Structures are given as structure tokens and as C-alpha cells.
Amino acid sequence: MDGRNSGDALPQERWNDIPADMLGLVLRVIPCAADRARVRSVCRSWRAAAAIQRPPPPLPVLVFSRFSFASLSRLSPAMAFTKPRRFFFHKDVTIRWVGSFDEWLVGTKPSRECKDADSHCFLLNLMSRKKIQLPRPCALHFFDYFCKTLPIVNTSGWVDIIIHDREYSMCFRKVVLSASPASDSMCIVAAISSRTLALWYPGMRSWCVCRSFGIDGSADIAFYQGRIYMAMVSTYFPHILSILFFQLEEVNGRVMVSYVEQCVTETLPPVEGCVVNEFYIVEWRGKLLLIVMYAEHVWLDTLKIGIYALDFSTNPHSLTEINNLDGDCLFISLRSSKSFPACQYDGAKGDFVYFVSGYWQHATSVHHSFDVLVYNVRDATTTRLSVSAPEDNSGPFTNNLLWLFPLR
């Protein structure tokens, strides 16, 4: 006996002696991002060993307002979340999350001077806490004004492309990134506001503002093969789908739009007694998918979900409905969407789509919760999973919900 109590912690050097490859095997069977973070926090050697391992990416994380998150700890068929916790303590509770890429969040802060506009926009790394400040979405400029007008091919509309606009005020609804801000490739940021697409590139002092009456306020956007694709369903003709693409170019260190085309104009398959309630555009295995949610006219209960792949072999492009995801899953929210390789985890079933939406929240005097809608692509059935929200989240908190997809 060495005089230690049986409950004493092991000496630190014994933790250090665990081989890196063994730690990698452990990480492979831990799908929860929060649990992996706890493993890395044990000691420096574990953190260094975890950095060189290549386990499958952890399951996605749900991010709430007020700097809270819940990690997905188990995937289908028995889906489960960890208890919501705070990842960063900040006094400003007005910050909204409007986008994500890998471990990066995109946040905005509402303006006090300009109504329905944002005063700040920034990128925040959830793991390292690194912060990148972007140009103000609400600003004035007095020099270097530049404007050009491009036609929207296949329509009678046009887009005004403006650099250093004399005055603009934007409230970003969704922001997407072309790459990780930490990667070697330059990251392009695209933000959607009312009838406006805003672009930013490292080194730019203001947003490149693209304005058009052809841009609908409910549009969804995604990067795909170097272009920005924008899907819209008209307010007046909710069964007519149109998709635009924006070709980008770099001019004197600035990202600009060089060409705009409406590549899809198609009538969506009719569903009796239903309207298009929500729609999303997301990349999956090199294909661009459109997800359409049909709901009743009055109560907005989802009755059908259609998943369509864009067929680029036709001109204009057409849509082909699909009924499987080859074992993958899709995670969809108003602010961020992405495909996920569920097949990398033993026991996890694929071909599911997980939706979070502002329509499915519940609030009582005791607690707040919301529903995750789970859609089985193969048999077209849906189930709802109730998830508790953090205690300090009140009001329409699910409007600020988004999925985050950590790499480690």
C-alpha cells in the first residue's frame, strides 16, 4: 500500500501515458460534441493527442440565444440531447445567431439608431473563442462609390451591384460562408436581407450590396460549386418556384457579382388543401437539394415534405424528387442547414431529416420547449421530439435556433 486513499485521483502522469491511438479509439465511440470537449480538457497530452486524431465528426449541436447550446448525444431511432448549458457568458442578450460553418457562428446585434437593422455582424469560433468583426450592416460611406446593373438572365428583372453604398441598413436573416474563416482558402460571406444579397471578402471595408425587386424576403441561399444559389417561392404565386444563381468574381480585392441567371422556374407538385409553408436549399453529396414543406392553409400543420434534386443536365434546370439519402441525414433550420454522414456511427439510422422551426415552440410559466420534426425519407412519415430550452430563453426563442456542425 502506498498510503493513498482508494478514492484519490490517479497521478497526472498516468493520464499522460495513455497512447494517442487508444484515445482516438475512445473518441470514435463518443458522438457527442460536449463529451469530446470534456475528454480534451482532461490534460494537455490528451488535448494534443485529440488534435491529431481523425474520428468521425461529432453529432450536430443546437445553439440557442444567450450563448446556450445542447449537444445531440444520440441519433435515430432514439434521438437525445444533453442538458442545455452556457458556452460563453456575455451581458448582451440581444445578439442573434444567423448562420454557422463548422465551429463558427455568425452573430448580429440590432441597431439602436436604425429601425429593423443590425449595427454589428461578427464571426465567433465556439471552441477557440476567436472573433472576427465584419463591416457594419448599417453604415454610411462618402467615398469610392461604385454601382453597376446586371440583367437577371431569363427574366425581365435586374440587380444593382453597389460597392461603398452611400447609405444602407440591413437586417440579416441568414448568413452563409463559402469556407471556414480559419482555412487557407479565402472565405466569402453572403447574407440575405429584405430584397438584398450582401457579400463580404477579407480585406473589404464595406459590404457589396446587391439589390433587386427579384429577390424575395423569404429566399434561402447556399454556396454550391463557387456560386451562390437562391431559392424563392413567390408570395403571390406560392406554387411557383424560382432559383437564381450568382456568379462571383474578384475585382481589386473585392468580391462582386459578374452574372445573374434564373436557372429554374417550375411549378411545384400540387398538394390538395396545402400551401408551401417553408423551403430550404442545401448541398448533399455533390448535389443541390430543395426541401419543401407543405402545410394546411389555416393551422400550418405539416402534411407533406418533398425533397428534390436539381437536374443540371437540362436547360433550364429541372427538379427530380428523391426518396432516400444513401444513409445520410439532413439537419435543417432557418439559419443553417447541412447534410451529415450518420452511417459513420454504429446503430445510427440514416435517411432522416431533422427540422427546427419557429412554428413549433411551446411556452408555459414553468419552462419552454420546442419540437424537432423528424422526417423519415424512405417511408414519408414524421414524428416530433420535444426538447427543453434553457431557462433564460424566453419569447420567440426558436427563431434564433440553428444547427452547428463541429469538426472534432
Predicted local confidence at residue 29, as pLDDT: 67
Judgement on whether residues 124 and 260 belong to the same structural domain of the protein = yes
Instruction: Tell me the Ramachandran region of residue 60: left when phi exceeds 0, alpha when psi lies from -120 to 50, beta otherwise.
Output: beta
- Inter-CA distances, 91 with 66, 94, 95, 132, 291, Å: 9, 9, 10, 19, 37
267, 284, 314: which is the final residue of a domain? 267
Q: Quote the domain boundaries for residue 142.
A: 94-267
Amino acid at 362: H
* Confidence (pLDDT) at 10: 46
Cell of 63: 445553439
How much is the pTM? Answer: 0.87
Compute mean pLDDT per 10 residues along the chain, 408 residues long, and list them: 45 63 70 72 70 76 80 68 68 84 92 85 88 89 83 94 84 95 85 93 92 85 96 78 94 92 85 84 95 78 88 84 92 92 74 78 62 90 81 57 85
Domain boundary, last residue among 216, 249, 267: 267
pLDDT of residue 178: 96
Compute the distance between CA of residue 300 and CA of residue 270 in angstroms, rounded to an integer: 16
> Is residue 407 in some structural domain?
no
Provide the CB-side half-sphere exposure for 313 (13 A, CA). Answer: 3
262 and 276 assigned to the same domain: no
Across 63-85, b (16+ Cβ under 10 Å) vs e yields bbbbbbbbbbbbbbeebebbebe
Same domain, yes or no: 314 and 373: yes
Predicted local confidence at residue 388, as pLDDT: 75
| Coil/strand/helix, residue 343 | helix
Whether residues 109 and 242 fall in one domain? yes
Q: What is the pLDDT of residue 1?
A: 39
Listed residues 244, 267, 290: the one ending a domain: 267
Q: Give the model's pLDDT for residue 2.
A: 44
- Number of domains within the chain: 3
Q: What is the pLDDT of residue 391?
A: 66
Residue 408 is assigned to a structural domain of this protein: no
